[in-house]
Each structure stands twice: as C-alpha cells, then as structure tokens.
Amino acid sequence: MIITKDLTKTFKRRISRKEGKFEKITAVDHIDLTIKKGEIFGLIGPNGAGKTTTLKILSALITPDIGTATIDGYDVVKCADIVKNKVGLLSGEFARSLYWRLTGKQNIEFFAKLKNMWKPNERINELLELFALKQWENEHIMKYSTGMKHKLAFAIGLLNDPPVLFLDEPLTGIDPITAYELKQIIKTGFKEKTIIWASHNLYEIEEMCDRIALINYGKIVLEGEPEKLKKNYWDHTKILVISDKPHAFTSLQNMEIKGDTVEIKTDNVKKTFLEIMELTKNKNVEIKEIKTLKPSLEEIFIDGVKNV
Ligand SMILES: Nc1ncnc2c1ncn2[C@@H]1O[C@H](COP(=O)(O)OP(=O)(O)OP(=O)(O)O)[C@@H](O)[C@H]1O
Ligand SMILES: [Mg+2]
C-alpha cells in the first residue's frame, strides 16, 4: 500500500544571518519502506529524527529531493491530487487550526465544504457520534476541552474516509481517558485502514503497531515486529536479586554485581531461581526483592539511537 524507495529530503537552515551562512539538514535520508494494506506501522525516533517530514512527503504536502514514494500505486509527486484524497494526516497540532468562534458542528461543516464534499451531513453525524461529540455539537469550541478539540480534529481528518492514515503523535497532550477512547476507535473501527503512527511513546507504539521502524537523523536504524526486535536484542531473561549480601551469589553463572543488586542472565528461569534459593539457605542472606526482566522497546530505542 505504501512503498518508498531511496526517499530523501534536505532542508537548508540559516545559521548566520550576518554572513548569510546556511547548513544542510538531511531530514529524511534514503528511506526504503514497504507497508502492507491494513497494517499499523509505528515510526519512532527522537526529536528532529524526520518522522513528520516523512509523513508530509507521503501526504503529498512537500516533495522529496531524491527517491520515490507511492500510495496504492500512485506516485506522491506525479499524482499528488489522487494521493491527497487517499490519505489523511492527523496530528494533535491540527486542533490549532480549528475556528474558535464556530461550534463543533460548524467547524466540521466548514472543512467538509473545503473538501468539496457533496451532501456531507450523514458523514458528519456519523463522525460526531463516533467521537462522542454529538451532544456538544452546538457548543462553541472555545468551551471544548483539549481532548474534545483533539477528537474534533480527528473527525475532520476522517471526513472523506481515507484508506490511509498518518497519525503524527496522535495521543500527545490528551488525558488517558481520551487517549483510551481514541485507541479503541482505531483498534475497532479502522481495521481496514493502513496506518503509520509516529510517536515517542513506546508503550502506545507497542500496544498499537504490527511493525515498527526506528528512525534517527533521517535514517532507518531498525525495523521489524516489536516482539522479534526484542527477541533479537537479547533472547535470555535477566533475574535481578536485591540483597543485603550480593556476594553470596558469586557462584552463579553469568552473574554481575551492581551495588546491592545481582543481575543474572539465564535461559532457564526455574533452575536459576532454585539455585538462588539454595544459596540463601541457612546463610542468613536476606533477599529484599527478586524480579525477572525482559528487554523493552525503550532499551532498544536508546541503544539504536546511541549507536548511530
Ligand atoms: N521546513 C523546514 N525547514 C528547515 N528545517 C526543517 C523543516 N522541517 C523540518 N526541518 C528539520 O528537519 C529535521 C527533521 O524534522 P521532523 O519535524 O521531520 O522531525 P520529527 O522526527 O518529526 O521530530 P519531533 O519528534 O520533534 O516531531 C529537523 O532537524 C528539523 O529541524
Ligand atoms: Mg514530528
């Protein structure tokens, strides 16, 4: 559904007004991606990594310098108008372009007119219902909470029911209840849609996405299913033992002492647990805490960003 080849975008940024000096920033650096129909693809990466620029190119809002991108076979440069009809770019920031003096319904009607929609009332009602805004439709959005404005912005982005959605930090700045509502709507109502979800929030990415890519300085550093990425990162389990006498455990294999914590890498959790218990027997060793650890996306993210 979405294919990019060698996609590259460079910006010029003025670094000295006096001397008229510019620096070149490669915001998107030779990106190759293939995203299947119906997939939710997570794009993670630190600030300035190139997530929003990638989504803007794929939405036919800015053009790449090198490379190509197609949406459902349509080139984002050559067929920009078709692409614009197929994609919806939803970002939390869009809530700022709402008209404060209009009601919720007037706002959505205004954007339906801009999109030249014919008889949009049925769709508007459907969206207001979907986002639980129907009972507030005649209130001025000045009175809306941030979450309600966010949902209205989402409803507007979905007016023409695009098959491809780009969600740029879709849950940033909203409360957990609104975030939960939006996630439920996306999980249940958007099954047919192909989605790219850009975010810093690794928990929401892991919960929502089938596959993810880590982007840093415009380059894809890692790509794959979250579970597989974690398995490839380290496939063993770590057992952490916090004890008053960490040196009582030095006979264990693959152990490391860090302060009062003993970190043991193991492929057989049960066996290692029994060994730990055995070592504490009749030796007056106190275990304050014991827990197992599996790799998290956070560690993979931090490592992936560090190693570039
Ligand atoms: N219009 C522009 N002119 C100049 N530089 C730009 C422009 N748009 C983006 N950039 C630069 O390109 C790089 C990538 O920016 P982008 O907004 O795509 O990152 P991002 O991953 O979305 O970051 P964030 O997580 O902060 O939203 C940054 O260094 C940014 O400053
Ligand atoms: Mg961004």
Residues 65 and 190 in one domain: yes
Is there an atom of ligand 1 within 6 Å of 50 CB? yes
The mean per-residue pLDDT over the stretch 65-85 comes to 96
238-267: b or e for each residue (b if 16 or more CB lie within 10 Å)?
A: bbebebeebebbeebeebeeeeeebbbbbe
Residue 264 domain-assigned (yes or no): yes
Say if CB 184 and CB 271 are below 8 A apart: no
Which of 11, 58, 93 has most ligand 1 atoms within 8 Å of its beta carbon, as the pocket-test mutant? 11
Neighbours of 146 (CB within 10 A): 13
Asked whether residue 217 carries a pLDDT value surpassing 70, the answer given is yes
Tokens read off for 110: 């205004």
Residues 101 and 164 in one domain: yes
Is there an atom of ligand 1 within 6 Å of 45 CB? yes
Output 173 or 246, whichever has higher pLDDT. 246
Residues 166 and 25 in one domain: yes
Average pLDDT, the chain: 91
Residues 53 and 83 in one domain: yes
Asked whether residue 308 carries a pLDDT value surpassing 70, the answer given is no
- Number of the ligand closest to the Cα of 54: 1
Residue 271 domain-assigned (yes or no): yes
Residues 206 and 116 in one domain: yes
Please state the domain count of the chain.
Answer: 2
CA 50 to ligand 1: nearest atom: 18
pLDDT value at position 214? 92
Is there an atom of ligand 1 within 6 Å of 47 CB? yes
The Cα–Cα gap between 281 and 4 comes to 60
Hey, whose CA ends up nearest to atom 31 of ligand 1? Answer: 48
Q: What is the tens place of the pLDDT at every residue in 77-101?
A: 999 999 999 999 988 777 778 998 9
Residues 170 and 46 in one domain: yes
The Cα–Cα gap between 123 and 127 comes to 6
pLDDT value at position 257? 95
Q: What is the CATH number of the domain that holds 278?
A: 3.30.70
- Number of the ligand closest to the Cα of 200: 1
- Smallest Cα–Cα separation from 141: which of 106, 183, 166, 112? 106
Residues 77 and 137 in one domain: yes
> How many Å lie between the centroid of ligand 2 and the Cα of residue 48?
7
Q: What is the CATH number of the domain that holds 187?
A: 3.40.50.300
Which of 12, 13, 25, 93 has most ligand 1 atoms within 8 Å of its beta carbon, as the pocket-test mutant? 25
The mean per-residue pLDDT over the stretch 201-217 comes to 93
Q: Give Cα 52 to chain centroid, integer Å.
A: 11
Model pTM?
0.84
The parent domain of residue 21 ranges over 2-224
The mean per-residue pLDDT over the stretch 225-231 comes to 88
Cβ-proximal residues to 18 (8 Å cutoff; 6+ apart), any chain: none
Residue 307 domain-assigned (yes or no): no
Residue 130 domain-assigned (yes or no): yes
Residues 94 and 21 in one domain: yes
CA 51 to ligand 1: nearest atom: 21
